[in-house]
Chains A and B, each alone.
Chain A
Amino acid sequence: MVRPLPALLLLGLLAAACGGRAYDAAKAPPKVAGLAALEAPAARGRVLMRALRCGACHEGAGPVDPAPALSKVGERLDPDYVGRFLVDPHGVEPGTVMPDVDRSRSVADRGADAAALVAFLFAGSDAPAAVDLGAGPDVGAAGREHYERLGCAACHAPLAGIDGDPSGSAPMADVAQKYSLEGLRAFLLDPLEHRASGRMPDLALTPAEAHAIAVAMGAEPAARRDAPDPAFVRRGRERFVALGCAACHEGVVDEEPNNAGALATLDPTSETGCLSGAAGSWPAFDLDEGQVADLRAAIGAPSAPDEDGAIVELMAARQCFACHARGGLGGVAAARDRFFTTEDERTGSASRLPPPLDHVGERLTPTWLHKAIAHGQEQRAYVTTRMPGFGASFAHELAPLLGAADATADPVFPAEPATEEERRAFRDLGMTLVGDQGLNCIACHTFGGESVGAMAAIDLAATTGERLTRGYFHRYLREPTRYRPDTLMPTFFAGDKSPLPELGDGDITRQIDAMWNYLAEGRNTRRPRGLRSPPVVLEVGDRPQILRRRLQRTGKRGISVGLPGGVSFAFDAETLSLHQVWWGGFLDASPVFHGQGSGEARILGEYVAVLPLGPTFVTELGDDDAWPSATRRELGQELGGYDLDAAGAPTFRYSLPGVNVEDAPRGSATGGGEKVALVRKLRLVAGEGTPSRVWLLLARDARIEADGAIFRVGKGLGIEVTGVEPVVFRGDEQSELRVPIPLGQQPSELSITYRWLEEGR
């Protein structure tokens, strides 16, 4: 259903009804969260000036937070809401930093202005197309959980229905009214695109997370809209310019806004103007007394803050202190503590609370620090709350200040290894120290994505070299609690003595530097001793499992097949032969799935029968002939492929010159014995001019004995053939079980059953 732009109707009526009377606008002071961390009035005033964007109109009023981008409001916001907001900003959105731009206007003018502005701002865009990502109580509940756990609740008040509203919450509009579902989702997914200031940072939400949060906040799908009257749009544009909107909202019109005069030329105690509290043709901020005092203090302050002061102001302006402590300020407030959770409680409070930022400029490399502030951080997978990204421009301000404030003189590092031999020895020293014969760092820390024990403290190899400064690494290892009083990290070098004096001459600096050098090689460096790749056990459930990777004994063209019931086999696609049959577990794929994957899959079965590698079919063979040694390729044999039956088990197709073979190994619980037998059905179809029979080699072993219909092979394998009578060929050392298969016009069919007859390997 298409509806007219509702704000236009509503506001038109409002204007007509109220005529030229003055408008009694609601008054609510702007709310800028984070100010509580600041003690000095001038400091609070400077942060306020930035948030209120004084510098957008007044030269010399310092930097401003960019105002929201208006180019896409039509895709995000509800026009009705925007109309009401423009009529009475502080009534509709108490706490907003947007001023009521001109209180001298009559109510009729306000209504007309708002209607025209809405028409202008929403022209050229319709409501976004609905993308259904689901609704319902589950989605809402997931959204609430995301809101609490991922970081929204670190700054904002908890969602209605969740008890308690910790003080100091960042203000939030009635988003269910303000945004459409699609609009809120788009905003949450990329807040910096819409609000470049970064006051609302980017939590790197997935679409599903953003959607669930938007649902939990009560946002509704947008209604389609008519295009507004072009005359109204033109009027809106005129009013946008005349009211000075462009001073803060950039990129909408080309006209330069009027400058309201340099700050230095203004009288902060004047009875008119922004600080006066009087109504007039200037922007009304509805400041409270404290805010006015703070602003006056800032305006009167002799100079800019020093480095530390600037850091504190920037951190307050973005509410960094809601999560992080630095210099005795901030940290997670008791009332919000429950919103900081972890996937892994074993590493103590560090596993759930954001780290303190004391020394952060010493700790992190400049590149990493910038990246973390601008784009967020995800090195601690176990911390549920996400470090969001505040955008590059904020990072460009804050990161260099932190780096300068925290700079610490480095120790004298050991000399670089001079030769390749020295380099290797130095690296081996680092590797030994990290491993289980050294400091055993891997007992607690993940290493290149792998961990030995239950604890999974921050990955040592993934980012150490890029993330941490070398100097900090040295100091931290010598004295971890100086940096993290609550850390579980042991002090290995207490009393300036190495616990491992026999390594690297016991020189602590050399030992630490060797670890640094080794870890800086990154995730794919050699594994330290004691770190084993965890097995990748391929389990066979209801369906057969297939793995075409290098298999022990069979080689690189092995096709391993695990069948339900506990019997597995390997078909060698290079020689076209059933090469191994085993009972028990299927495979450990770790050697082919980890690292470079250059190992071979390991058979997990307890009872393994190894059969001869092919070619197992030959077309010409005398009774006394040894089995030919030619390759199957030399014999013109080819692999056609395999088909999977409805259950997922393969039937192999291959050919000898003039003969097509179908080879279907299946598990059979009725094959006799305690274990599931492998029953292999063979079907041979001969073309014209083919020999009258082919030979199939089933087994080669020192011991092959007939036992009734069963041939015992080696220690435990029993082979039974039905359809054709096998023969035992006795060689000098080994015997062979051979099957002469007659070929005719009808397909030749035979069945071969493999059983494990007795315990043993």
Chain B
Amino acid sequence: MRTSHALALTTALLGLPTLSAQELGEPWGTAEAESRYYRVVEIGLPGFPELEAGSMCTLPDGRLAVGTRRGEILLASGAFDALPTPEVTVFASGLDEVLGLGFHDGAFYAMQQTELTRITDRDGDGRGDRFDNLSDVWGFEYYHEFGWGSPVQPDGSVTVVLGLSESYHYKARYRGWAFQITADGRSIPIASGIRSAGGVAPNEHGVMFYVESQGPWNGSCSLKHLKPGGFMGHPISFGGYAEPLGATLGPKPVEPETPSRLVTEAERVPELVPYAVVFPYRKMGQSITTFRPDRSGGKFGPFEGQLFLGDYSLSLVMRATTELVDGVWQGACYPFREGLGNGILCVEFGPDGKLMAGGTNRGWPVRGNKRHILERIEWTGRTPFEVERITVRKDGFLLRFTSPVDPAACIETSRYQLSSYTHIYRQGYGSPEVDQTTPTVRAARVSADGLEVEIDVDGLVLGHVHEFDLAGLRSADGEPLLHRHAYYTLNRLPR
């Protein structure tokens, strides 16, 4: 620990400043109600008292592979069983914080901080014995240079995202960049401008996204589209354009001005990619992490095809949906399940639609007080009354619900409370919510099956988060929503 890094040492894994427990956001207060629909089962891995999951993947044989901050790849059989009594073997150890783990063609692909490594077991004894360095083109020299890796894509490639040096600076090459690493070990730059990533994976449509943390040039945490050739918003990483590989991404973009608004700067900086889904700070996490789409075919409940992701600080899991509108990605996020015991770094679906969540709570403030466990979220079979998703319409939004609404109540426009705001796009740390407006709902139409409501809205604002408070809605059974809030980031309206 060097004293010159004193400033950096007060910053967090995911780029948040050191916060006291009192500074953690308030709970939603819905954990007890949620537990009726989604139960949380604690799962310890016997023999691993220091389990700190940083990444996970489910193997074709149904085992769960866990990459840990302590550098192991653990293989657990039975973790998804109805009565989990897992048996664990060590496939590899001694790696450097495995924050990305994939399995492809008989090999593991581990994003450890120093490199992306392909690990194979040639003699079939259950331990990896060949470690191939697929890429180590990035600099790795300073504090807080965290890198995350995607699942292996069908073409055998892995996308890696590289957080800045000391969470603020460009002190080593390609910090703040994303690369696609091909199966034969070529490193292709994808984007610059990353600040402090919390995960990378394809979204529910198969398009590569990454998780960004609140901080400089990021008013709040967000999901962003890793648009090839794109600039993700933090200009300190522009040094990479002078490096041999970085030069192939194109010319260095124009520097954004500070303080400003992202929509304003996107006019000046064509490479600048807007946040697809903003997670308003504290209301929806404080350091969001790796996401996975639900492909369980309904085994995980009514949210098939949506993204699920955890939060490190607040020990909770949220949902998100994205859509491509006029060539730009955008979408919404929704509360899902709080009251987990750990700081969530990764989630992964099992073969039968149970969601495993893992993480750690050392080093930075975390609400959950348990460490060294996995937590499995499973659907109880009861369907909560929830906003299933929100999509944009020319004149407003389409709200889809998990069960039919009370049509008489839900055509009343006063039951839809909307507010909008954005964040300052600036070099300084984070941002309050600014430029608040109050869009109004002009009309609400309930579909014949009661599952959808189309609302016409006056006062939509491009570049703003549109926050919904739907406390007044009722299901056909007279129930209020399990979660009254949802947050739609509006970048474009459909043409």
Name A's B-contacting residues (CB within 8 A): 131, 133, 185, 189-190, 206-208, 211, 374, 392, 449, 462-463, 465-466, 520-525, 545-549, 555-557, 559, 573-574, 591, 593-599, 638-646, 648, 650
Contacts and interface: CB of A to CB of B under 8 A. Distances in A.
Contacts of A547: 71, 94
30 contacts: A131-B83, A189-B83, A190-B39, A462-B369, A463-B369, A520-B20, A521-B365, A522-B21, A522-B24, A522-B365, A523-B361, A523-B365, A524-B366, A548-B95, A548-B114, A549-B71, A549-B97, A556-B114, A556-B142, A557-B140, A593-B50, A598-B1, A598-B5, A639-B133, A641-B117, A643-B129, A644-B127, A644-B128, A644-B129, A646-B123
Contacts of A573: 114-115, 133, 136
Contact of A524 (B22, B145, B365): B365
B22 A556 contact: no
Nearest to B18: A524
A466 B21 contact: yes
A189 B83 CA distance: 9
Contacts of B96: 548-549
A131 B81 contact: yes
Nearest to B120: A643
B140 A524 contact: no
A524 B18 CA distance: 9
A650 B361 CA distance: 32
Contact of B140 (A556, A597, A638, A650): A556
A524 B93 contact: no
Given A548-B95, A596-B13, A598-B9, A449 B363 contact: no
Do most interface residues of chain B lie in helix, strand or loop, or is the interface mixed? loop
Given A524-B18, A545-B94, A548-B112, 12 more contacts: A131-B83, A133-B83, A189-B83, A206-B85, A525-B21, A546-B94, A573-B136, A594-B362, A597-B363, A640-B133, A641-B117, A641-B131
Interface string B414-430: 00000000000000000
Counting from the closest, the 3 A-B pairs by CB-CB distance are A522-B21, A546-B94, A521-B20
Nearest to A652: B131
Interface string B108-141: 0000111101000001000111111100100011
B371 interface: yes
B32 interface: yes
A596 B15 CA distance: 12
B32 A392 contact: yes
Nearest to B117: A641
B22 A520 contact: yes
Contacts of B12: 596
Question: Which residue, of B83, B85, B117, has the highest number of chain A Cβ atoms within 10 A?
Answer: B83
A599 B1 CA distance: 5
A374 B113 CA distance: 42
A423 to B, nearest CB: 10
A641 B94 contact: no
B69 to A, nearest CB: 7
B37 interface: no
Nearest to B95: A548
Contact of B84 (A207, A466, A522): A207
Contact of B85 (A208, A463, A524, A574): A208
B408 interface: no
B1 to A, nearest CB: 5
B143 interface: yes
B70 interface: yes
B466 interface: no
Contacts of B130: 641, 643-644
A374 B129 contact: no
Contact of A596 (B22, B117, B131, B363): B363
B125 to A, nearest CB: 9
A555 B13 CA distance: 19
Nearest to B83: A207
Given A598-B1, A598-B143, A522 B362 contact: no
A639 B136 contact: yes
Given A546-B93, A591-B1, A207 B85 contact: yes
Interface string B139-162: 011111100000000000000000
Given A449-B371, A595-B363, A598-B9, A520 B21 contact: yes
A466 B26 CA distance: 11
Contacts of A641: 117, 130-133
A523 B19 CA distance: 11
A643 B122 CA distance: 10
B77 to A, nearest CB: 14
Contacts of B371: 449
B84 A643 contact: no
